[in-house]
Amino acid sequence: MYNSGNRKFDSKIFVGAASIIGFILWLVIDNTYDNGDSITHYAIAHYSWKHPQLLFDNWGKPVFTILSSPFAQLGWKGITFFNTLTGVITCCLVAQIIHQLKWSISPYCALLLFFIPNFPLALNSGLTEPLYALLLTATVYLIVIERYHWAAVAISFLPFVRSEGFISMTVVAVFLLALNKWKNVLLMLTGLACISVLGFIFQYESIFWVFTTNPYTANHGFDNYGSGNWGDFFSKFYYMTGIPFTILFWGATLLLMKILVSRLVDNFKEGLNTIEFLLLGSFFSFFLAHVVFWKFGLFHSFGMSRVLISIVPIGLLMVLYLLNQLLEKFDKAKIVTVFCIVCLVMFPFTSNKSAWKFSKEFVEDPETAAMKKIPEDIKIDTMKADVIYYSSIPLMTLWGCDVFDETKYKRIGALKHQGEPEGRYAVVTEDWFMNVDCNIKKDDPLFKNLRQEYSKRVSENNVVRIYMSK
């Protein structure tokens, strides 16, 4: 699969171009992209140096937290800088993959990654998806240059960025087994071994803590995350990537499948050692897993479209594979290719519903802004409460509260299940998280012993309330 690549391509110029585009977007986008997990991941990374146990928090994802924590010490812009940096590196790796495969299409087309509408928006967040995309793309690159041992090591850490990493690992394992690289397959245990041992040394009592503390398999006694239809993620993919990309992607999928099936028929084992299998397997193992998870309401899926950011770079490689095939097979395909590239670049600037909405997506979310202003009306630190119970980590993080200091802050579930504590205490609720994450309603008996001190509607469906014990 490996070629030295002798076409004119200056990697330094490309790195410069990708960095300029990436960091211009970092400067102009002022949005958390997601008001929940994005801020929670930031909070875990930010406070992990003060509370080291957070470095191995299984929900926070150890590899993401460890790598992002130095940047998160600088505040919100610090962690978005980290994710933007991962996006720039991912873009460079896509270019290198094209270069090493000696495709006819220019490696500079990898810059299209920044024009897939939701990808640059997600870089300006505290989410784990950009790092997942980087590690998955890095694994493909290492396979392309035949550094199979490093590819196995790289992907072995993927489950500690997002749990779907175990799914992506199976694709690489099949690829390596078809090459009779048994020793390299064993190297895919590296990440599990390292993280398990480190967590056992510094925090947990069991070496198997990775499995026993998995938040997606634990039984919380309730599940408010719902389920959906088989076709939901197919439509979500369109809204994430836009019309031109979606059309080209499904065209690429059909072409890749046709070529892969032909090669599998000719020689099944060799067919598994192709770029076609690697791209299709990497993308659809992840994509179809989420289709199933959402359909049957498994693993707290919640049908979140943002998870697809994890495989967008692989999707771009598939699109560029199609354009490359056109260039190599048809003499006049250059005009068609240029037209497709122009469409991909221009689409985010159109008025289509899946294009960029500058007045909404590039500025601070009104709900987030409203939450930030609440301390101007009432300061919970002046309420003389011994303990503050809360329903939402993101809300408290926006107020600058270290909710991981358990001597002062506790989840509202503790108040419900452990009974009323001694002394004065405050309760801060936010409707969405209280209903979905905590399974507590506004008419719950625990509020009978509380006096409402403050209430503010921050969005059409969300109200923040502050209570004090009577």
* Residue 309, phi then psi, degrees to nearest 5: -55, -30
The angle at the Cα of 319, spanning 315 to 321, to the nearest 5 degrees, equals: 110
d(CA 289, CA 414): 34
Instruction: Determine how many CB atoms are found less than 10 A away from the CB of residue 243.
Output: 16
- 101-115, 173-187, 345-359, 422-436 — which is least confidently predicted? 422-436
User: Distance between CA atoms of 3 and 463, rounded to whole angstroms?
Assistant: 58
Distances (CA, A) of 17 to 12, 337, 349, 417: 9, 21, 20, 55
Helix or strand run (H / E) with residue 411: strand 409-411
- Count of alpha carbons within 13 angstroms of residue 63, beta-carbon side: 26
Q: Which of 86, 90, 200, 70 is nearest to 141 (CA)?
A: 90
Per the prediction, the chain carries an average pLDDT of 92
Taking the C-alpha atoms of residue 99 and residue 5, their distance in angstroms, rounded to an integer, is: 6
pLDDT the model gives residue 19: 97
Residues whose CB is less than 8 angstroms from the CB of residue 242 and which lie 6 or more positions away in sequence, other chains included: 116, 117, 344, 347, 348, 352, 354, 355
The helix or strand, by DSSP H or E, that contains position 40, with its residue range, turns out to be helix 37-47
Residues in the chain: 470
- Residue in the structure block whose two tokens are 């690829």: 175
What token pair was written down for 252? 């690429």
For helices 62-72 and 129-144, give the axis angle rounded to 10 degrees: 110
Residue 60: CB atoms within 10 A of its CB come to: 23
Q: Number of helices (H) and strands (E), helices first, in the chain?
A: 22, 5
The model's pLDDT over 374-431, given as tens digits with 9 standing for 90+, comes to 998 888 776 788 899 999 999 999 999 999 999 999 999 888 777 778 888 999 999 8
> 């809360």: which residue's tokens?
390
pLDDT at 306: 92
Q: Is residue 18 within 8 Å of 92, Cβ to Cβ?
A: yes
Q: What is the pLDDT of residues 204-252, one digit of tens each?
A: 889 999 988 888 765 554 455 677 889 999 999 999 999 999 999 999 9
Distance from C-alpha of 77 to C-alpha of 128, rounded to nearest angstrom:
15
pLDDT in tens, 147-206: 999 999 999 999 999 999 999 999 999 999 999 999 999 999 999 999 999 999 988 889
Residue that is written with structure tokens 């991912």 in the block:
90
Would the CA dihedral through 350, 353, 359, 364 be positive or negative? negative
Place of tokens 């039984």: 219
Q: Tell me the C-alpha distance between 209 and 180, whole Å.
A: 32
Q: What are the beta bridge partners of residue 426?
A: 388, 468
pTM of the full structure: 0.94
| Radius of gyration (C-alpha) of the chain in whole angstroms | 24
